[in-house]
Amino acid sequence: MRFDDDQESDNIEDRRGIVSGGGLGLGAVALALLAWYFGIDPRMVLNFASQTRPVAQQSSGPVRESPEEAKSRHLVGQVLRDTERTWDRVFTAAGRTYEKPRLVLFRGATSTACGTGEAAMGPFYCPGDRKVYIDLGFYDELARRFAAPGEFAQAYVIAHEIGHHVQNLAGISGKVHQAQQAAGKVERNALSVRLELQADCFAGVWANQAVAAGTLKLEEGDVESAINAATAIGDDTLQRQAQGRVVPDSFTHGSSEQRVRWFRRGLEYGKPFSRDKADPQSCNTFGRGSL
């Protein structure tokens, strides 16, 4: 994977030099994981814990990073910049303005408008402050634990979270969360799956549009690395590893097959929206009965 230049986004907030104390701890994280197993949004547990035990932060001086972490940080900056260029073109073509999100680098734990962010949660987007959060140590987990190394796999992770920002700007996530409040547990989970699969599709749209614009060049093995990542973090794969069985009604992100399929859809067609809800080229996961 190569970009047309070496520039990074200016919208990065580096908190890695800040030491956070009073975080959630292993108990709260374990409860969040348990909630996920039973189909409950783990953010509900984490947000409650963060309200009762706020994070105290203080600067620890200049950021120290390994060569591997420096490489990951540079790549994140490049990917973020390219998503900014790509989605700005898409929104402009639709007669709208793309508001660039900020991306926060942190270690361990950090405060967000959605509660306390923990490294154990993995990368996430907070609609409350319109920021993407990531502990770069996640990429080590992606390569070692999930056997999904590669720069394009790392780019897919960022592009997926930016997809959530696009949903927020388009008013999609707000409508979904409103619908979830009046729904039962199974329906809430089903709506969450559709939201997550659309973000996967939007990640593919970014890559398609960037390649077409000449700002990104994909090389041999890149697409496979992203597909490996999507496969590794499918709900069925994670549940099978964690509890030895699969409970589809508790899915919140989609199966491995679904995540790969919707990412491929965006990558192939590069078409995020369509007036026709049944358009097979679009990322409208809400306009069809089957996913």
Q: pLDDT tens for residues 211-235? A: 999 999 999 999 999 999 999 999 9
* Burial class of residue 204 (count of CB atoms within 10 Å of its CB; 0-12, 13-18, 19+): buried
Domain that holds residue 161: 2-269
**Percent of the chain whose predicted confidence (pLDDT) is above 70:** 84
Cα–Cα distance, 8 to 186 (Å, whole number): 41
Q: How many CB atoms are closer than 10 A to CB 156?
A: 29
**Is residue 284 in some structural domain?**
no
Distance CA 16, CA 57 (A): 11
194: pLDDT strictly greater than 80: yes
Count of Cβ atoms closer than 10 Å to residue 241 Cβ: 11
User: Does residue 52 lie within any of the structural domains?
Assistant: yes
Neighbours of 92 (CB within 10 A): 11
| Domain assignment of residue 167, yes or no | yes
Kindly tell me if the per-residue pLDDT of 210 is higher than 60: yes
Look at the chain and report how many structural domains it folds into.
Answer: 1
pLDDT averaged over the chain?
87
> Does residue 280 belong to any structural domain of this protein?
no
**What percent of the chain shows pLDDT beyond 90?**
76
Residue 203: pLDDT band (50, 70, 90) is very high
Task: Give this prediction's pTM.
Answer: 0.86
- Asked whether residue 258 carries a pLDDT value surpassing 90, the answer given is yes
Whether residue 289 lies inside any domain: the answer is no
Which pLDDT score, from 0 to 100, does residue 90 have?
A: 96
In a domain, 288, yes or no: no
